[in-house]
Structure 1
Amino acid sequence: MRRVRSRGLWVGYLLMVGVCLAAFGFYLTEARRLVGANYTAMVTDLVRAQEDPDRLRLVLDSLLDSPDRIHLAQLNELIWRIPLRIQGLRNHLLRSDLAPARYTPYLEELTYVESRLPTLEQVIARVGIDNQLTPEEGRQLRELGMELEEALAWSYSELNELLHRASADQRRFMGRLTLAVAVLLLMLLVAIGGVLLMLHRLHDQRETMRHLSLTDQLTGLNNRRRLLQEAGQAFVRGERQGTPLALLLLDLDHFKQINDAYGHPLGDEVLIRFARLLEACARRMDVVARMGGEEFAILMPDSDIAAARRLAERILHAVRDMPLPSRAHAAGLTVSIGVAEAGENGDFERLYAQADRRLYRAKAQGRDRAEG
């Protein structure tokens, strides 16, 4: 159970790591896309607009050389399209995160271009009447065209440089922000991992303390407290399912003599060997416990008195054949056993008292025997 809970903690942590990494990957992808998209539309419109000054100059030159309707139509189309380009760029810049002070001079220049386009339109309207240019109209058209071409070229060039610098600045900022988010994410994962590790250790410590509180330190068997817990649950199951419950109380015969003759360390070794023998003889479902000193108990769920007696006989024979540590090999070891079965409406105190009386009867009748 403890391993399952610990595994669950770490599986949850790994899932959290996976979710965080997926979220960071999504953030990084979207951040790069949005940073690029923020300026892509402006740069695209600006690149298209930068064609207008060159085209304006070419059309004006052609018109001055040959004032025909084709060139007039081309110039009129430019006069119509240039304000649309300027308005599109103005809308992009006003919606961007650029400081207005950075682009206001260029918008003012473009606004001036817009104000001069009607004058250009008036000049070419007069040319369109007879497809003729007077020297004065030619001079005026050339000067106005150069003025507009230079204003457009300068404004678009400066805006292009501004947008590239702003895009580079934003990418650097997003790079630093991404690094900061990655560091924070890593710190979060480390903190969560640390908390999970602490919880894991606290859980292990709690389970260890619980195990120690229910375990005999010398033999590793269950102690009296654990036996009482298991007995309470066994009585509840027995009453609900109508199954029998038996108890064996065991006490090593003349164990004090082994301690006195060979010392307590050897006596402890004998107790450990006896504990292993009981575990080998009992079933997995049985609860083997050390009650204290040389007294032990075996709680047998779903077992009647006959099954308990059979187990007691096996233990008696096994103890007689159990090898003792080398120095006490000749001493020999026996055990006395009291066997009892829980009656109707009984409890563990009555069952224990009955087995205890039969244990003392076995001792009184010569030891190395089972009574029940």
Structure 2
Amino acid sequence: MKKLDQIPLDGELPSPKGVALAILELCRKDDADINEIARIAQTDPALAGRLLRQANSAARGGRPVASVTDAIARLGLGTVRNLALGFSLVDQYHAGPCPGFDYDGFWSHSLLMGVAMQAFSGLAGAGAADELFACGLLARVGCLALATAHPTEYSPLLAHPDAATRLRELEQEYLHTDHLELSAALLTEWGLPSALVEPVYYHEDPESSGFSAGSRPHRLVNLFYLAKCVADLGTAQEHERAGQIPGLLLLGSKLGLDAEELGRTIDDLVKSWLAWGELLKVPATALPSFAHLSEANTARHASDYAMRVLLVEDDPTTRRALQLALEKTLGHQVTCASNGHEALALALETMPQVVLTDWHMPGLNGLELCRALRASEWGRTMYIVMLTAAKEDEEVLEAFNGGVDDYLTKPIDMLMLRARLFAARHYTEVLEGWERDRAKLKQFAAELAISNRRLTHAAMTDLLTNLPNRRSGMNSLARAWSAADRSSEPLSVLMLDIDHFKSINDTHGHAVGDTTLRKVAQVIQRSARKNDSICRMGGEEFLMVCQNADIKSALLAAERLRRVVEALRIDSEKGSIGITVSIGVATREAQMEDADSLVNAADRALYTAKRAGRNRSCISIQGKQRCGPW
């Protein structure tokens, strides 16, 4: 993760003001005094009330506190600092300079994420609820920071058709940073511990974190992701909410939350969101109950959700109850079998898309049935869910090794059953799509090949100048070296370096420095012959490979290029800037063993040109360097 001073920014960043800033500065001191912090907090009645409310929140229980000093003692200095910081930013940034940024929507989502982190913290055992509330509130502060520092440039990115799925890529491409990178840098700058900042940085894609399963960072990053999904649910359009329920159920199950507990917790935290929204003047919308949204999701998919289900259960009471639930409530076509042998015959006859099978049955048990089905080509297309009372990891692992796709523990929770069948539907839709139109597979393969070519191009291209990068340039030089071996034609290279480039960056800023690199790259491209290859070696250095060119021809090309660059002017706020380059020239000689030797010779000549005063060309002949004037 980058530090804040490593991130390119055009404008000011969001920052705490007034009382919050004073508290932030006090908390940074080793001898920070609670009474002094309380005295400062009491000068802001709104902040004092918010701290009292947080200290007396229903989730913490215990004796209510009435004084700000007691509230700070209960919350802890770190949490008070973070809460004061968050509340200060909420108060200041209800509006701003970025026309495309939804400030109210941002704070509504952030507040619900903070409330969700507080609510889920105790259930997942992830940490202090108040501390996580503040972290959830500030987890996406990088979005606000980009809208504040780059108001003009950020609006088009937010309006981009792919913004919902590629916002970070667009931010990196156009602003050279992204909202998560900036969030992490700001939270670090404000003194939040790295144990919380790292999960925040990865929370939009927990799988990319690399945290060990079961570790506290792993629990935290998944908790932040779940809180984000809850915030997405709360701020979504009404017609979009029901479709988000199955994903929430699966996420909750990963953290050990069953459907009932998850639903109850979300219903409670929405009430807290409404209360906090009124207190902070942040929009918050009352939602239907989680159970109601789950029912709406089922109804929404009733027509296209129906699947052929084979239910295998030896207990007649359980079998009948599940059959009714699958047919009447969920709308599936159900075939029942009382044992594994009967199920195997019915599977061949009905070709089910989903098999729900009990594990422990007389004769052919559920695991043996699964293995028998997987032994056939048609059986490998079925989605198999094991129903079992077993909760031991070894038995669950055995089931997956046997070929099951998922499992449910008894007694069966209907919300979790719906979630499993929702996943099964996605699986069967993919298979049906392949069978329905195999031509699409060829299209996908072609698109993948195009994508791979684009990736290959990106891997070999310098994004700033759009020239080939060092790796691509050295590959071109290696090919030119081999061609010169075969043809005995001369081969020369030019190594170019922009003079005093660091001074340009320091005096005029990195934006002008980037413009300089692009302009010089364009000049080199226009000056190159048809068979010449050029690349950006890194920093302000460029390499030109001149095939079938001896030292005289290469020197003429270098001098022509140097004069063209010398005539170039770069506009900046401080006036027009003149640019010069130093160039090292070398040609292939008999004693050179490989292409690297040729580049090293040109590099030594470039170094000599620099020492000789810059803005000149220098040649390397038989290990000796010589500079102009020519």
Which TM-score applies when normalising by structure 1? Answer: 0.48
Quick one: higher RCO (CA 8 Å, sep 6+), 1 or 2? 1
Larger Rg: 1
